[in-house]
Amino acid sequence: MRVFEITLTAFDFLVVLYFVLCKPFSQKNVTRLLLGAGLAAVSALQLFLEGYRWQLVPLYVVTLILFANILYRILRPVRTVKKGRFLKYINCVLLSVLLMISTFLAISLPVFNLPKPDGADTVGTVTFDWIDKNREETLTADPEDKRELAVQVWYPAEKMDGKTEFLFPQDPKIFHRYIAAFADGMRLPAFALDYWKYSRSNSFPNAAILPSAKPYPLVIINHGMGTSRVLHASQAENLASHGFIVAAIDHTYSTAATAFPDGRITGFKTEFSADDFYDKVPIIGEIWTKDVEFVINQLELINSGRIESDFTGKIDLNNVGIMGHSFGGATAYNAAYLMDKIKAGINMDGTLFDLDNRDQLSKPFMFLQSDDSEKMIKAYHDNMIPDEHRGRITKEMETIRSVIEHGGKSIHIKGTAHYNFTDFQFYSPLFKYMGMTGNIEGHRGAYIANQYVLDFFTKYLKGDAGTLIGGPNANYPEAEFQTLLP
């Protein structure tokens, strides 16, 4: 909860306690005036400085009831009707329950800010809208559509004063269309996500890029199926604070929602079912892989100056890395295998979608695995996998084993579930009870993943560090190095 939310809740509890312990009509008006003024002042500060959110509706209702009660007793200081203590206590209990409900909702669905990156550099960000005129958009019905991508870039920036960028679009119309698309995918009413408008990142929009004697290595990030680039903002910020340029792609029509710079919003249109999953997945994977290739080509044009930008000459295209979560992690593997321009890659808990002729990757690659993946590996070795899936999983295991044997890494981060490799772990503690995130504390899980990602890319894109990915470390007992050997 935010400062004035806590203050208002505590003040309301104190006023309720006052009504329980004191004889209300025996108190002087000065006490009532102070209580009423306090309620009004704290309420105004909360609403004007922090803003309304629906989780606090019970709190606002209690505040109005208490304020009205105090005002009534100031105007009617003489008691004319005797009321029973029992009714008074019931009323106070009901008000306390409302306060507890509001507190629970506010804590369960908090206004969150992204954790501070631990690098030395200030972080800037800018979003591009790029159209691949050479590719038809196959996920819409209009044959004239071309593939269009929103790509957000984070980078080391000159020091800035003022406040950082909000995490979500701030134009009210754009924001409400955006959260409506997101909420639809989560099967929630749009108002349920309205409080997201208060969350901040650690980046400064359109800040000047920090001058450097050498260009900055580039890392591409791919989100998971049906999520969004916004769920990897903290990972991007952390890398940027350590001297990387990071480009996160919204794979259009495969996101919960994509907000383009001109205000257009697209939602999820990538349809497949359990029956045709393995037939359609390679097709979608090819689209995403071509998205990665297109984005790298666009960044080459920017770096060369053929597209005007402050990034001209600032991107080290000889040191390009790629990472992704879930389907985006599988895309990272596929792109790393197919593209010579990519030097190293990371798959965060993603099941590989293309396994034919993909077992001889001759470049550094790392798999970060959750407890879910670890359970699948154990089930595989214990012969608990159904026969119809065993052949495919065998191929994937052989691919990962080949990566390890050629110098790659597979690291299980204990206590994590699938979405611990995204920023969802900051959005709500309820995700843990839904099985989306694991038992590990969210900030700890994110910190560990960020440290291993940073160490990996620093080693293979900058030629430094690499000690953390070399083997077990006492500071990170949650990181378990896998061999995948029978």
Which pLDDT does position 91 carry in this prediction?
Answer: 85
Instruction: Assign 385 a pLDDT band (cuts: 50, 70, 90).
Output: confident
Q: Whole-angstrom Cα distance, residue 147 to residue 459?
A: 34
Instruction: Assign 485 a pLDDT band (cuts: 50, 70, 90).
Output: low
Average pLDDT over residues 37-49: 95
Characterize the bridge pairing of strands 203-205 and 146-157: unpaired
Q: Whole-angstrom Cα distance, residue 218 to residue 28?
A: 69
Average pLDDT over residues 336-361: 89
Which pLDDT does position 356 carry in this prediction?
Answer: 78
Domain ranges across the chain: 3-108, 122-481
Which pLDDT does position 191 carry in this prediction?
Answer: 92
Helix (H) / strand (E) containing 275:
none
Q: Tell me which of 185 and 472 has the higher pLDDT.
A: 472
Q: Which residue has the tokens 């400064």?
A: 204
Encoding tokens for residue 475? 């500071």
Cβ atoms within 10 A of the Cβ of 396, count?
18
Average pLDDT over residues 385-407: 85
Mean model confidence pLDDT for the chain: 91
pLDDT (tens digit per residue) in 134-153:
999 999 989 899 999 999 99
From residue 43, alpha-carbon distances to 3, 9, 49, 59 in Å are: 12, 10, 10, 10
Q: Which residue has the tokens 């009321």?
A: 83
pLDDT (tens digit per residue) in 242-253:
999 999 999 999
Encoding tokens for residue 288? 């995403």
Q: Tell me which of 63 and 280 has the higher pLDDT.
A: 63
Give the domain 122-481 fold: Rossmann fold (3.40.50)
Q: Which residue, 39, 29, 136, is CA-closest to 73?
A: 29
The answer to whether residues 266 and 144 touch, using CB atoms and an 8 Å cutoff, is no
Instruction: Flag whether pLDDT at 80 surpasses 70.
Output: no
Q: Whole-angstrom Cα distance, residue 231 to residue 424?
A: 7
Q: Which residues, at least 6 apart from 397, have a Cβ–Cβ distance to it below 8 Å? A: 377, 380, 484
Instruction: Flag whether pLDDT at 197 surpasses 70.
Output: yes
The share of the chain scoring above pLDDT 70, in percent, equals 95
Which pLDDT does position 388 carry in this prediction?
Answer: 73
Which pLDDT does position 26 carry in this prediction?
Answer: 52
Q: Provide long-range contacts, Cβ within 8 A and 24+ apart, for 34-41.
A: 35/70, 36/67, 36/70, 36/71, 36/74, 38/11, 39/11, 39/12, 39/15, 39/63, 39/66, 39/67, 39/70, 40/67
HEC per residue, 451-479: HHHHHHHHHHHHCCCCCHHHCCCCCCCCE
Instruction: Flag whether pLDDT at 79 surpasses 80.
Output: no
Which pLDDT does position 273 carry in this prediction?
Answer: 67
Which pLDDT does position 27 carry in this prediction?
Answer: 54
Instruction: Assign 486 a pLDDT band (cuts: 50, 70, 90).
Output: low
From residue 331, alpha-carbon distances to 16, 233, 282, 349 in Å are: 57, 18, 10, 12
The answer to whether residues 378 and 462 touch, using CB atoms and an 8 Å cutoff, is no
Q: Which residue, 31, 32, 39, 37, is CA-closest to 13?
A: 39
Instruction: Flag whether pLDDT at 359 surpasses 80.
Output: no
Which pLDDT does position 398 carry in this prediction?
Answer: 86
Q: Whole-angstrom Cα distance, residue 125 to residue 155?
A: 6
Encoding tokens for residue 102? 């509001």
Encoding tokens for residue 367? 């798999």
Average pLDDT over residues 293-315: 95
Instruction: Assign 96 a pLDDT band (cuts: 50, 70, 90).
Output: very high
Instruction: Assign 384 a pLDDT band (cuts: 50, 70, 90).
Output: confident
Average pLDDT over residues 113-119: 95
Average pLDDT over residues 208-221: 96
Structure letter (DSSP) for residue 209: B
Which pLDDT does position 90 carry in this prediction?
Answer: 87
Average pLDDT over residues 275-291: 87
Instruction: Flag whether pLDDT at 204 surpasses 60.
Output: yes
> Where is average pLDDT lowest: 86-95, 116-125, 293-302, 405-414?
86-95
Q: Which residue, 231, 380, 247, 378, is CA-closest to 311?
A: 247
